[in-house]
């Protein structure tokens, strides 16, 4: 089968399409013939080699999310899975004709959901849902999604809007992206520094931050009294270490600052929310925003688009 390996960390050109042996599922694993492969921000981070210290070695096959059909199962897995359409979290190994996943990370794919749509919200939808829950978001509250043009941000905007937010502000880099986000439920469009229309809320009850980086403390200052700030991603780098100073300085505002990782959510709970979101997608209550669909052999081009910052939503590879 074909697989895209990162032979050299750094530039997308270090990714090479190679012929490899189809893997055999081990205990508690399933083998999936891929029909769609999500290209996530984390794939780009791994490929750049900036987190090489975490043990990633050249030759790895990236790709944490696929949809397709189960072709084989390992010991301990119900054989009736074979032939079923599924979505799966693979951790690594997704950029290939076949990918392995642990059975607990495989969800059935409803008939009316395409594999491309499934890998667009299969991970990012639950991240957005549980990040808002972690912030104790409640109907009637105002929300700011910082870095809203990616798949997590888009899902957060839609979920907050449909969840009864009094307003959903977004940061984004262009008016055109702002209009697209408005169509998904955003009410106020701010630039990357948080500047926007005069009628934008002065303070937010909830800030979901996918950006991080040096400007993070300035956004902590945008919390309303009792506001909750949740760091979900860090596409602009790690926030500085002095964030708590801003909280202390505004002591009488009772603000909170937290991080959120999906890793802390039990896998069955993620699956329940994913199933609900696939159903919402089928009803048109949630949208999978696909930036582009490219053949597997164009993985490097997909990563170039990610590096150029031109992606709105998600890029999907198809074998």
Ligand X SMILES: NC(=O)c1ccc[n+]([C@@H]2O[C@H](COP(=O)([O-])OP(=O)(O)OC[C@H]3O[C@@H](n4cnc5c(N)ncnc54)[C@H](OP(=O)(O)O)[C@@H]3O)[C@@H](O)[C@H]2O)c1
Choice between 15 and 73, CB closer to ligand X? 15
Tokens 């390996």 identify what position? 5
- Window 52-91: contact mask with ligand X (x via CB under 6 A): ----------------------------------------
- 98 Cβ contact list (under 8 Å, min separation 6): 1, 22, 23, 31, 32, 33, 34, 71
CB of 80 to ligand X, least distance (A): 31
- Window 22-41: contact mask with ligand X (x via CB under 6 A): ------------------xx
Pinpoint the alpha helices (H) of the chain: 41-48, 115-121, 124-134, 151-162, 175-183, 216-220, 243-249, 267-283, 299-308
Choice between 85 and 105, CB closer to ligand X? 105
CB of 34 to ligand X, least distance (A): 20
Choice between 7 and 179, CB closer to ligand X? 179
Token pair recorded at residue 312: 């709105």
Residue from the set 142, 172, 187, 277 that interacts with ligand X by CB under 6 A: 172
Touching ligand X, residues 236-275 (CB under 6 A): 236, 260-262
CA dist., res. 96 & res. 69, Å (int): 13
13 lies in the binding site for ligand X (CB under 6 A): no
Size of the site for ligand X (CB under 6 A): 27
Among residues 232, 264, 218, 271, the alpha carbon closest in space to that of 87 is found at: 271
232 lies in the binding site for ligand X (CB under 6 A): yes
- Window 99-138: contact mask with ligand X (x via CB under 6 A): -------------------------x--x-----------
Token pair recorded at residue 111: 């008939």
CA dist., res. 95 & res. 39, Å (int): 9
CA dist., res. 146 & res. 189, Å (int): 10
182 lies in the binding site for ligand X (CB under 6 A): no
Choice between 204 and 260, CB closer to ligand X? 260
Cα 115 to Cα 38, 65, 112, 310, distances in angstroms: 10, 11, 10, 23
Token pair recorded at residue 143: 């929300």
CB of 272 to ligand X, least distance (A): 17
**Residue nearest to ligand X according to CB distances in the complex:** 150
Choice between 2 and 177, CB closer to ligand X? 177
CA dist., res. 281 & res. 117, Å (int): 9
Cα 118 to Cα 15, 115, 122, distances in angstroms: 25, 5, 5
Residue from the set 25, 63, 125, 153 that interacts with ligand X by CB under 6 A: 153
Choice between 72 and 289, CB closer to ligand X? 289
Residue from the set 25, 122, 227, 233 that interacts with ligand X by CB under 6 A: 233
Q: Which backbone phi and psi does 315 adopt, to 5 degrees?
A: -95, 140
- Which stretches of the chain bind ligand X, using CB under 6 A? 40-42, 124, 127, 147, 149-153, 172-173, 177, 192, 210-211, 213, 232-236, 260-262, 309
């Amino acid at each position: 089968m074909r697989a895209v390996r990162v032979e050299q960390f750094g530039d997308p050109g270090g990714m090479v399409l190679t012929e490899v042996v189809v893997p055999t599922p081990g205990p508690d694993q399933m083998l999936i013939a891929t029909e769609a492969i999500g290209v996530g921000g984390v794939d780009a981070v791994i490929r750049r080699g900036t987190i090489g210290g975490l043990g990633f070695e050249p030759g790895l096959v990236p790709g944490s999310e696929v949809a397709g059909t189960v072709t084989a199962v390992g010991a301990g897995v119900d054989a009736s899975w074979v032939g079923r359409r599924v979505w799966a979290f693979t951790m690594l190994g997704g950029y290939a004709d076949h990918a392995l996943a642990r059975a607990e990370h495989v969800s059935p794919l409803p008939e009316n959901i395409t594999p491309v749509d499934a890998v667009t919200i299969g991970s990012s939808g639950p991240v957005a849902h549980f990040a808002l829950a972690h912030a104790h978001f409640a109907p009637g509250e105002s929300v700011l999604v910082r870095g809203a043009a990616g798949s997590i941000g888009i899902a957060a905007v839609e979920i907050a809007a449909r969840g009864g937010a009094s307003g959903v502000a977004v940061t984004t880099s262009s008016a055109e992206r702002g209009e697209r986000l408005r169509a998904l439920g955003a009410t106020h469009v701010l630039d990357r520094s948080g500047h926007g229309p005069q009628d934008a809320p002065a303070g937010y009850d909830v800030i979901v931050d996918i950006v991080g980086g040096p400007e993070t403390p300035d956004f902590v200052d945008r919390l309303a009294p009792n506001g909750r700030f949740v760091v979900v991603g860090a596409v602009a780098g790690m926030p500085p270490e002095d964030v708590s100073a801003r909280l202390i300085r505004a002591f009488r505002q009772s603000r909170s600052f937290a991080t959120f990782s999906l890793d802390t959510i039990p896998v069955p709970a993620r699956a329940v929310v994913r199933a609900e979101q696939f159903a919402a997608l089928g009803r048109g209550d949630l949208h999978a925003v696909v930036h582009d669909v490219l053949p597997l052999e164009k993985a490097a081009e997909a990563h170039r688009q990610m590096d150029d910052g031109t992606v709105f939503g998600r890029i999907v590879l198809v074998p």
